[in-house]
Each structure stands twice: as C-alpha cells, then as structure tokens.
Amino acid sequence: MNCPPRILVVATGNPGKLREIAAVLADLPVRVMGLDELPPIDEPAETGATFADNARDKARYYAEATGHWCLADDSGLVVDALDGRPGVHSARYAADDCPPDSPRDLIDAANNRKLLAELADVADERRTARFVCHLAMADDDRVVLEARGVIEGRITRAEAGDNGFGYDPLFFVPATGMTTAQLPPERKNAISHRGQATRQFAERLRQWLSSQQP
C-alpha cells in the first residue's frame, strides 16, 4: 500500500518563489505547500548575519510551527559597490519608504528605486553584483538538508522585462544579454541562483528520502 506523499511546506509568502521551487520538485514524492495554504503563522524575526543563518532559523521555526517538513530559503542581492548591500536585507531594503504590509509589487518597486538611487553615480563597470540563494530543510528542530546557488551579473540603469520579480528587472546577466526578468521562466530557472540551489536540493532530497526507506 503506497503511503501518501509527505507535505513539504515552503516557508514563503512570495508566489514567485513558490512557483520556481515547486516546479523543480514536481517529480519527487512530496506535496509542496505554501504558507498561504495554512492557518496564519506569525513571521519569525530574521536576525541572522548571513543567508545561511536566516534560512536555517526560518526552516526550524516553521517546521515546529506546522508539524511538517519545512524548506526555507534566504536569498538576496549582493552589490559590490555597496559593500554587499542589500544582502540579507534585500526583501525590505526600502522599508523606510514602504510599509512591510504593502503589496509585494509595491515593495519590489520601492526596493528597485532605492537601489538605482544608491548606484546613480556608479560607473557601469563597477555595478557588479550577484544573486545568492541558501536553502535549508528542517524536520522539527533539526536542519537535515541544505543547498546554495549563486549567479553573477551587474545592475542596469533602468528596469527591463516583466517575467521576474524583486530585483530581476535590474539584474543583467552578460552571458544571456538580458536581465533575469527578460528571460523566459524555463531559461531563468536553468541559470538562476534559486534554480541552482533548488536542483541541488532536489537531488539531495531524493537521496535522503531513499535513505529513510525501511
């Protein structure tokens, strides 16, 4: 008798992130569920100094709160000319200009405006940056799997493309000649930091699930 697939809660309220992760995990014997399918849970404070710290903390927090396996990511944009900012503060970079309960598109727009303003006087060759994604999966209070992905690029002077979210319209990937918001979803997932980390995670989850078989 086949057992029903285990629920894997993806600890995000961002529908773009959920779609990208769920697409990569589609052939694994888990049911991917977003936080919007569960009763409301207070968000944890993100106090980690690194993406890895925050991903681990969120995974443990939501695993204990929901009673399910939980996959959490912490990802963001690291800009060399800004000494690594926005970094772990990427999601709320423009918090002073946009309340945290604002719709996602307004938050993204405010973050992008702030980034462009801070880089206004920075020459093109110095606008190098990278997207970083760290994934952690927790089973109750234990982090059991982790993965990481990075993609290099530079920050444009104006937004281009509408296929992505967050900083995608400003993140130019030289190898493609486009921003990540101009790439078709399949191509973006093939090269993105989150796509890299999720594929790595999917393979590790496959192996881990096999090791759990009686």
Residues noted as catalytic:
74
Q: Which of 74, 86, 133 is nearest to 111 (CA)?
A: 86
Strands 69-79 and 128-139: antiparallel
Spatial separation of the C-alpha atoms in residues 99 and 115, rounded to whole Å: 17
CA angle 105, 55, 44 (to 5 degrees): 70
Spatial separation of the C-alpha atoms in residues 162 and 165, rounded to whole Å: 8
| Cβ-defined contacts of 77-80 (< 8 Å, 24+) | 77/115, 77/129, 77/130, 77/131, 77/166, 77/167, 77/171, 78/129, 78/130, 78/131, 78/132, 79/115, 79/119, 79/127, 79/128, 79/129, 79/155, 80/126, 80/128, 80/129
